Amino acid sequence: MPKGLQTQYSPSYRQVELGAAGAAAIQAVGNGSASTEDMAKLLGDTAGAVLPEFASGAFAGAINGAAQMGGLAGGIDANSLQALTRGRVFNPYKENVFTGINFRQHSFNFKLVARSPEEAKEMQSILNYFKEGAVPNIGSSDDTAGKKDIEKLTRSLSGNRFFTVPDSFNIKFIRLRPDGQADKDGDKDFMHFKIHPSVCTGIQVNYTPDGQYTAFKKPGTDPKQSIQVPALNLTLSFTETKLVTTVDINDGF
């Protein structure tokens, strides 16, 4: 299991300032009384409520204009005018409006320690597995590249025109028996939370997890595998490709 196992849910909201007229309009629409006659009456009823704010705003603008004409600094607004003269500010009628839900992100951190050259080679295979799945390949969208009589440069450009989409990952928690083998129902038991198919959005590898570089070389092996580190930290970041809704929560996500 990774260190620091956690998940998060990030609904998104946006603050809006309705103002007195906007708040009254929202209330009318919510009550189902948004006919033409009702809206006309609503405008008449709220005119008195918005008049002080309108007058204060106009007066503040006039003060700022006069100050600028005289070459003086001016930055007063309707709220500043009310605060300085009446000890109050206008109610902005703020509301939090739901705008959506963000894709869940997951970060897993592992420390891999090799007890033999064979395990060090296996660590490198694990790294290559995630690195290959996180990056795209270069390929053509059709079979035009390589046809007879096509000039070499044209073939090269056609073959490198497109990226293939990187892999997605199915992540789940699986229980193992004490001998390290998978439990019979280890992949069916519900553990903690489920994860939608995800794409790898970040790989970080620290080859000096203990603060000092250490490496060993096994003679007579493939040069690509001959020098290995005995330990490393691997941090993987994933982003789900599907949004989590109430139905998903009830299903264990």
Candidate from 1-5, 126-130, 223-227 with smallest mean pLDDT: 223-227
Residue 234: is its pLDDT beyond 60? yes
More confident residue, 156 or 251: 251
And the tokens for 75?
């930055």
Percent helix / strand / coil, the chain, rounded to 5: 35, 20, 40
Domain ranges for the chain? 19-92, 105-250
In what helix (H) or strand (E) does residue 106 lie, and over which residues does it extend?
Answer: strand 105-113
What is the pTM assigned to this prediction?
A: 0.67
**What is the mean predicted confidence (pLDDT) over 106-127?**
89
Is the pLDDT confidence value at 19 over 90?
no
Give the residue-averaged pLDDT of 157-161. 66
- Residue 79 pLDDT > 70: no
pLDDT class of 144 with cuts at 50, 70, 90: very low
Q: Is the distance from CB of 118 to CB of 228 less than 8 angstroms?
A: no
Average the pLDDT over 94-120 and give the result. Answer: 89
Question: In the predicted model, is pLDDT for residue 155 greater than 60?
Answer: no
Q: Does the pLDDT of residue 100 top 80, yes or no? A: yes
Mean pLDDT across the stretch 162-179? 86
pLDDT at 192: 86
Give me the chain's average pLDDT, please. Answer: 76
What mean pLDDT is predicted for residues 97-124?
89
Instruction: Give the residue, 224 or 184, on which the prediction is more confident.
Output: 184
In the predicted model, is pLDDT for residue 47 greater than 60?
A: no
Work out whether strand 227-228 and strand 216-217 pair parallel, antiparallel, or are unpaired: antiparallel
Mean pLDDT to the nearest integer, 21-36: 63
Looking at residue 243, what is its pLDDT? 93
Question: What confidence score (pLDDT) does residue 146 get?
Answer: 46
Tell the residue number behind the tokens 């420390």, with chain if given. Answer: 111
Structure tokens at 99: 């705008």
Residue 141 has pLDDT above 50, yes or no: no
Q: Which residues pair with 204 in a beta bridge?
A: 235
DSSP 176: B
What pLDDT is stored for residue 21 in this prediction?
65
- Whole-number Å distance between alpha carbons of 89 and 79: 5
Give residue-wise pLDDT tens across range 176-209: 778 877 767 656 666 789 999 999 999 999 988 8
Share of the chain above pLDDT 90, in %: 23
Q: Calculate mean pLDDT across residues 19-30.
A: 66
Quick one: DSSP state of residue 96?
E
Residue 176, beta-bridge partner list: 182
- Rounded CA-CA distance 44/153 in Å is 74
